[in-house]
Amino acid sequence: MSGPRLFLVVPLLCACGVAPVGAEDELTQTGDAIVRGTTQPTVLALTAKQKLSIGAVLNGWSGWANECTGTLVTPTLVATAAHCVEDVRAGDVGFALGDDAATPRQGQVATAIYRHPDYDPDADAEADFAVLRFAAPFTGIEPITPNCDAVPSALLGKKVQTAGYGETLDDDENTRRYWAAVTVRRLSSYDISTNGYGSGGCYGDSGGPLLASIGGQVRLIGTLSWGETCGEVDHYTRVDSVCAFLKPLLGVSTSTGGQTVEGVAFTSEQATRALRTANTATEATLDGPVGLDARAAKAIVSGRPLASLEALAAVPYVGASALTRLRDY
């Protein structure tokens, strides 16, 4: 979601580890977030460690502005929206934890960004999903388990939980995390549509969690993609629709053999074919029929020979999208 943002300078962020509790940070506020929210979750009885797992995604290009929200799904992996980290490098993205973004309890700079290869910025909630990796585990947290089973139709008409940081209806200087109870109104194969009826997400809350009790356990069932009206109808990317992409990052096998690089899964045959293409195709072929960015095509030709998928992924301008195109060519 686009719009005004929360500007937060967090000098304590580093790529090497977590930040100390109680660090002081400079803050100014001009953004929107959860409207008519509550200071505590009202739908789910989350533990303190589960609540701490939901934090602010920061943009270093904007002085560590709070661009979005994210959820720790492991101590080192954060689930958020792909559009939150579009066209940025890992070193320009941070994550901060705590009830109040003005005084984060922990913070780090990302070491890797994995955007879903099917993400289309001109589309809606389909595949609007990304994962951030951090070098050191965040501490004192209880990661929220992603839901990789089908979202139960029994949730239709039921309230679920969401959260985000930023401006509230009454306070445009707010920096705290607020919660909202929203009602599931529609399910598609990739989208969960909710209505907060005046209480819910707004600008700056993208990537934030949709939480529900599945089988008696708290599960991350969606990440906020876009909204029609602040506090009203929102659209979340279904986590179960992106689990084939997510599971390899979590270390969960989705097939026998092969490997996963930058979040892209390859069979042994696909890996061999992708490397053959990268090492033998002309720059014009890579830029044309294969569909790579011209800069990536030039860098691949300059970097030959490439002995492994890891070496290929390390070439400048080669990310998950380029690897996917090489795999599928």
Residues 197 and 260 occupy one common structural domain: no
Mean pLDDT score, 296-322? 87
Residues 265 and 215 occupy one common structural domain: no
Quick one: DSSP state of residue 240? G
**Looking at 96, 115, 143, which one is the last position of a domain?**
143
Of the candidates 92, 124, 311, which has an alpha carbon nearest to the alpha carbon of residue 233? 124
80 occurs within a structural domain: yes
Residues 119 and 25 occupy one common structural domain: yes
Residues 132 and 12 occupy one common structural domain: yes
82 occurs within a structural domain: yes
14 occurs within a structural domain: yes
* 3-class DSSP assignment, residue 106: strand
**Looking at 143, 168, 203, which one is the last position of a domain?**
143
Residues 128 and 139 occupy one common structural domain: yes
**CA 77 distance to own-chain centroid:** 9
Segment 97-126, tens digit of pLDDT: 998 777 889 999 999 999 999 999 988 899
The values of phi and psi at residue 41, to 5°, are -65, 140
307 occurs within a structural domain: yes
- pLDDT for position 174: 57
Lowest mean pLDDT, pick from 27-36, 40-49, 231-240, 265-274: 27-36
Of the candidates 282, 284, 277, which has an alpha carbon nearest to the alpha carbon of residue 309? 277
> How many domains in the chain?
3
List the Cα angle 279/281/283 in 5-degree steps: 105
Instruction: Say yes or no to pLDDT of 165 above 90.
Output: no
Whichever domain contains 150, its CATH number is: 2.40.10.10
The values of phi and psi at residue 77, to 5°, are -125, 130
Instruction: Say yes or no to pLDDT of 216 above 70.
Output: yes
- Cross-strand pairs, 233: 195
Residues 69 and 120 occupy one common structural domain: yes
| Residue 110 to residue 117: CA distance in whole angstroms | 19
109 occurs within a structural domain: yes
Mean pLDDT score, 50-63? 90
Residues 194 and 276 occupy one common structural domain: no
* 3-class DSSP assignment, residue 274: helix
| Residue 36 to residue 295: CA distance in whole angstroms | 46
Residues 180 and 296 occupy one common structural domain: no
Segment 142-162, tens digit of pLDDT: 999 999 999 999 999 999 999
Q: Residue 166 corresponds to which tokens in the numbers above?
A: 């930023």
Which amino acid type is present at position 265? A
Give the helix, strand, coil percentages of the chain, each rounded to 5: 20, 30, 45
46 occurs within a structural domain: no
Instruction: Say yes or no to pLDDT of 283 above 50.
Output: yes
- Cross-strand pairs, 267: none
User: Which residue blocks in 181-293 are alpha helix, DSSP H?
Assistant: 243-250, 268-280, 283-287
169 occurs within a structural domain: yes
**Looking at 120, 143, 166, which one is the last position of a domain?**
143
How many Cβ atoms sit within 10 Å of the Cβ of residue 148? 17
Handedness of CA 199, 204, 206, 208 (dihedral sign): negative
Domain holding 158, by residue range, is 146-244
Whichever domain contains 287, its CATH number is: 1.10.150
42 occurs within a structural domain: no
Residues 121 and 22 occupy one common structural domain: yes
Query: Dihedral angle at the C-alpha atoms of 302, 132, 166, 241, nearest 10 degrees?
Result: 110
Residues 12 and 104 occupy one common structural domain: yes
| Residue 126 to residue 104: CA distance in whole angstroms | 31
| Residue 112 to residue 258: CA distance in whole angstroms | 21
- Do the Cβ atoms of 132 and 107 come closer than 8 Å? no
Ramachandran region of residue 246, left (φ > 0), alpha (ψ -120 to 50) or beta? alpha
Antiparallel, parallel or unpaired: β 145-146 and 217-227:
parallel
| Residue 99 to residue 277: CA distance in whole angstroms | 49
- pLDDT for position 261: 81
Residues 314 and 289 occupy one common structural domain: yes
Residues 237 and 154 occupy one common structural domain: yes
Q: Residue 201 corresponds to which tokens in the numbers above?
A: 């997400």
Segment 231-254, tens digit of pLDDT: 789 999 999 999 989 988 887 644
